[in-house]
Structure formats: C-alpha cells, structure tokens
C-alpha cells in the first residue's frame, strides 16, 4: 500500500478535530449542568474561583477550562491565568431561550450515542430502533436543540410567509401540531395567537405528558390539548392549519401521515412542513451541516422509520423533491417553499 504522507496527515488532522469534538460534547453538557458557563459570564476567573463559585472541585474545573480554551469555547489570558466568555460564546452557551443554544445539541448527541449497541444490531438485521427506545436525554436534548430556532423564526418569519394563515390565527383558528414532542412549537404558537386553539399529538406518550406540563406552566389550559397518537391517527378536525416540525422524515409511513393530514384539513386549510435544510442530492449535502444531520439521522431518524410499517426511511437530508412528491401523492395540489435558513426549510401544502 502506497501511502501519501501529506494526505495521511491531512486526514489525521480531521480525525484529531473530530475526536476532540466527540469528547467536547460531554464536556459541554457538564459545563451547562454545573453552571460553569454561566459563572464565566460575570468576568475573568481563575480555576479555583470558578470552582468556589459553582461548588465544584478546583482540579476538575481547571482541566475542564483548559479543554474549553483549547477548543475555542472559552477565552484564556496567559498572564493572569484567568478564563472568560466572549459575548458571542455566552450567547450560544448560556441562554436556553436565545436564538441559539449549543448545549441542547450536545445533550441530544450524548443521549443518542447511548444507543450504539442497538444501532449496531439494527445495522446487522435491518431492524429499527424506535424513538421511544432511546435514552430520556434524547427527548430533552431534542427540545432544547430545536426550540431556540422555532422561537426565533416560527411566529416572526415562518407563519407570516404562509398564504393567509396568520390572519386566520389572529381571528381564531383550529390548529393541529403533529409530532409535537415536548410541545415547544405548540406552546410558542398558542402564546402568539390567543384567539386560536391548538392540539398537539405525538406517538411517544411520555413526551405528551411533558408537553402537558409545559402548557400548564405557560398558563394555556383550555386552549391547548395533547393526545398520544401517531401522525396517521391523530384526531379532531377539520383544522385550519396542521404543522409538522422536523418529524416527517422520521416516520416509517410519511405518505400515510400526509394523507391523514389532508383529510383532517378544512377545504381552505394549510399544512406547514418544517424539515431540515437539505439539497436534493447527496453531493449537495456534503458540507458541515449535512454531516451533522446525516450523523444524527443514522442514530435517530432512519432507525425510527425502520421500526415502523410503511416502507419509507427518508432520513434527515431528504431535500425538497421527496417532500413535494409526498404532498402531491397525498392529494395536495399546491406546494411551495416559503422560507429557508441554514438549518431548516419550510414548505406550504394546500388542498
């Protein structure tokens, strides 16, 4: 075997970066859970001061800080031996209600990786691993990963881009939020449109219970209800708006879901489909964002789809063309992309 040493070193540098990133995931979760990042927002601290402020051991705090500085997640001053966060680092690492919250993504990753033995077995057998079979950190991490993006875009950009939907919501509409998880999207919409009523559904009963808690905490009793039901069986209707946030590609039978959504809509109703940003070809997705989605999809999305009847396993980088085709096959006559950002594409399907 003739090995080009320069190319080998180039590959090994990628490996080193990935290995550091893999271990960084756990360290970010530790830092968020223990309040280490939040303590650093008050100004530069030496390791022993950070430990005292957070009730942790100085030696652990010191090693954690060194790794964070090496990865560019915190800043370090050689002369004083202190560490701190820039405004940008603090924005991404300490505010779960901000537009970006990095620890949620790492929490989701750490939780997903705990299923490695089940995933290995699924590779061998072609079987599936259902969403409900994953570690609870997956469900919490998923909400914390996606909620900031929804909070930043759902009411301000995505819904206004739909044809006539915002006016209906302000006047009073019936909305079904399919695959609602912990109810982050349902609660955001209900808060923004107090004249409308909302029903969230998810096949994972434990997530539905948590969604009910979220709605109660938000004071939305009476206008928001939840049910444990799949996208092919949720009840109620006719709905003026049905939403599906980052879940269609997880389903074993997305066509069955699309047909049921079509049947549940009012004649002039709208289906808003939010999916991961993706091109229609593998080559178009060979980039850092595509890598993140393909990697998560291997552990979460495809295994869940393979665990269900239906014959589909779209994965998290399906792209627009398959979603358009599903909508058409389900009986929708109008379909268009209404919004896009680096992480999401938003589509509108109408009867």
**Residues whose CB is less than 8 angstroms from the CB of residue 217 and which lie 6 or more positions away in sequence, other chains included:** none
Structure tokens at 231: 């996208």
DSSP state of 346: E
Separation of alpha carbons 76 and 57, rounded Å: 19
192 and 155 in contact (C-beta within 8 Å)?
yes
Model pLDDT, residue 97: 87
Query: pLDDT, tens digit, for every residue of 125-171?
Result: 999 999 999 999 999 999 999 999 999 999 999 999 999 999 999 99
DSSP state of 42: T
Residue with tokens 């691993």: 129
187 and 146 in contact (C-beta within 8 Å)?
no
Q: What is the pTM of this model?
A: 0.93
Model pLDDT, residue 48: 98
Angle at which helix 58-71 crosses helix 47-54, to 10 degrees, equals: 120
Spatial CA neighbour of 173 closest among 104, 35, 33, 269 = 269
Which residue ranges of the chain lie beneath pLDDT 70?
none
**Is-cis flag, bond preceding 238, omega within 30?**
yes
Three-state SS annotation for 218-244: CCCECCEEEEECCCCCCCCCCEEEEEE
Separation of alpha carbons 41 and 45, rounded Å: 10
């Amino acid at each position: 075997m003739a090995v080009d040493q320069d190319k080998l070193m180039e590959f090994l540098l990628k490996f080193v970066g990935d290995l550091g990133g893999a271990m960084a995931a756990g360290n970010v979760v530790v830092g968020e859970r223990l309040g280490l990042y939040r303590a650093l927002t008050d100004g530069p601290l030496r390791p022993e001061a950070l430990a005292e402020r957070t009730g942790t051991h100085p030696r652990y705090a010191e090693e954690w800080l060194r790794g964070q500085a090496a990865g560019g997640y915190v800043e370090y001053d050689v002369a004083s031996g202190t560490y701190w966060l820039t405004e940008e680092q603090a924005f991404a690492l300490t505010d779960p209600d901000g537009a970006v919250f990095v620890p949620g993504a790492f929490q989701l990753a750490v939780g997903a990786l705990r299923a490695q033995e089940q995933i290995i077995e699924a590779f061998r057998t072609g079987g599936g691993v259902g969403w409900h079979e994953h570690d609870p950190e997956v469900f919490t991490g998923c909400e914390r990963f996606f909620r900031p993006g929804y909070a930043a875009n759902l009411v301000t950009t995505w819904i206004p881009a739909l044809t006539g939907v915002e006016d209906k919501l302000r006047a009073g509409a019936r909305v079904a939020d399919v695959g609602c998880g912990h109810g982050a999207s349902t609660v955001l919409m209900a808060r923004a449109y107090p004249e409308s009523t909302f029903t969230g559904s998810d096949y994972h009963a434990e997530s539905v219970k948590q969604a009910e808690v979220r709605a109660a905490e938000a004071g939305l009793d009476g206008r928001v209800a939840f049910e444990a039901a799949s996208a092919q069986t949720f009840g109620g209707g006719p709905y003026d708006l049905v939403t599906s946030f980052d879940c269609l590609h997880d389903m074993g039978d997305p066509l069955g879901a699309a047909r049921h959504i079509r049947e549940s809509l009012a004649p002039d109703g709208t289906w808003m489909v939010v999916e991961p940003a993706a091109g229609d070809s593998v080559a178009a997705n060979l980039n850092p964002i595509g890598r993140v989605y393909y990697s998560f999809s291997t552990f979460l999305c495809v295994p869940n789809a393979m665990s269900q009847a239906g014959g589909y396993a779209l994965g998290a980088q399906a792209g627009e063309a398959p979603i358009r085709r599903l909508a058409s096959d389900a009986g929708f006559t109008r379909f268009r992309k209404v919004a896009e950002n680096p992480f999401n594409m938003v589509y509108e399907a109408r009867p």
